[in-house]
A and B are shown apart, each in its own frame.
Chain A
Amino acid sequence: GDSVTQMEGPVTLSEEAFLTINCTYTATGYPSLFWYVQYPGEGLQLLLKATKADDKGSNKGFEATYRKETTSFHLEKGSVQVSDSAVYFCALSDQGYSTLTFGKGTMLLVSP
């Protein structure tokens, strides 16, 4: 079945450091790919998405490119802030685009 693998956390960075969170996937067909973010005590919210190969999703300084050849969708940000501390989830849609399969999540901790 479809699956998503994310790097294990926590990822600890200093403010203004470069961020990469790796995500690879296994799927049949051509899924859409997503990054969701969860702040403490809250539900998840969509951060960015890409719907086809070579698409780049971007939002709030975060970027991720849909790489079909490497089945990857790595999340990057050039300069993280303390307020970016959260848990980040990579996800893919099923073939019918009805549901999402999530990775296990990666906690990011940014210190001043």
Chain B
Amino acid sequence: DAGITQSPRYKITETGRQVTLMCHQTWSHSYMFWYRQDLGHGLRLIYYSAAADITDKGEVPDGYVVSRSKTENFPLTLESATRSQTSVYFCASSEVGASSPLHFGNGTRLTVT
């Protein structure tokens, strides 16, 4: 089925560990995004990518690393997890940036202990 899938759905990790959240889309959309959702803050953009090998920082990029070697994948890595990175992470894709609808995955709930 076409769509956007995130894995894992839930993740618990310890402070200081590296963790990678995966995102895969089957539409061949050019744009992909990572947002985090926190109570009181809504959704905040971490990183986005306009095409393979092109990435840009969003509002809250510190502590995160992304890569996009293939159009369909956009992994998000927390190099050394901190408790402040406990959040729900959403990946999204769109055909032409914000001019076309963003299609969201179902999210990854990450807890850093």
Contact = CB atoms under 8 A, between A and B. Distances in A.
Contacts, number: 62
Interface in A1-56: 32, 36, 41-46, 49
Interface stretch (B14-22, B69-77, B79-87, B95-103): B95-103
Interface residues of B toward A: which range? 20 to 34
A89 B102 CA distance: 13
Contacts of B101: 46, 49
**Does more than half of chain A's interface fall in helix, strand or loop, or is it mixed?**
loop
A45 B104 contact: yes
Nearest to A98: B97
B41 A99 contact: no
Interface of A: 32, 36, 41-46, 49, 89, 93-94, 96-105
